Amino acid sequence: MKDPESIAGVVFSPDRSQVLLILRRDVPLWVLPGGSVDPGETAEQAVVREILEETGLTVKIDRLIGRYYPINRLAKRTIVYECSLIAGTLKTTEETRGAEFFPLSALPPQPPPYPEWIQEAYSLKLPITRDLTSVNYRTLFKYLLFHPILVFRFLFARAGLSINTKG
């Protein structure tokens, strides 16, 4: 895989019954913590940094979940890791409106591919390498019909024009 453009971290509760999600400020949806890999930074360093920046939690990487390739311009090359909590207290940050552990049986709505990544992490299979087929223009159009404001905020964020309102 070419260097990843982004990373995501799956953090389960110690008994693996809950998963950590963040409520983003720019596109107010519950998603896995993660973000971009900075120049000179490894994907491993990036996931630990992003989780700390977005949640206030210090984590360690337990394993690679998968490497994912976009099929269009809606997604980025992404590496997803399973991480475990070392220290810290959940808090909101400049990037998040919320950070919370949710029971796997009662997750809030999330856009693709987050539900897939959580399921793949929970399955404890060998690392996956696959295309991000669920992130496609058909799904974008469906979201546009039902959630137009969220779609426009997503598109602005993809273009680097995030609406990062506090409050």
Q: Is residue 125 part of a domain?
A: yes
Q: Is residue 143 part of a domain?
A: yes
Model pLDDT for residues 23-34, shown as the tens digit of each residue: 988 778 899 999
Cβ within 8 Å of residue 101, ≥6 positions away: 13, 18, 19, 20, 21, 90
Q: Is residue 72 part of a domain?
A: yes
Q: Is residue 120 part of a domain?
A: yes
* CATH number of the domain encompassing residue 153: 3.90.79.10
Predicted pLDDT at 166? 52
If pLDDT is split at 50, 70 and 90, which confidence band does 133 have?
Answer: confident
Q: Is residue 139 part of a domain?
A: yes
Residue 118 is given by DSSP the state H
Domain count for the chain, please give it: 1
46-62 exposure pattern, b = at least 16 Cβ within 10 A, e = fewer: bbbebbbebbbbebebe
If pLDDT is split at 50, 70 and 90, which confidence band does 167 have?
Answer: very low
Q: Is residue 88 part of a domain?
A: yes
Q: Is residue 164 part of a domain?
A: no
- The whole domain housing 94 covers 6-158
pTM for the full model? 0.82
Q: Is residue 1 part of a domain?
A: no
The better pLDDT of the pair 151, 30 is held by: 30
Average pLDDT over residues 90-100: 92
Phi and psi angles of residue 6, each rounded to the nearest 5 degrees, phi first: -145, 165
Please say if the pLDDT value at position 119 is more than 80: yes
Q: Are 41 and 49 in contact (CB under 8 A)?
A: yes
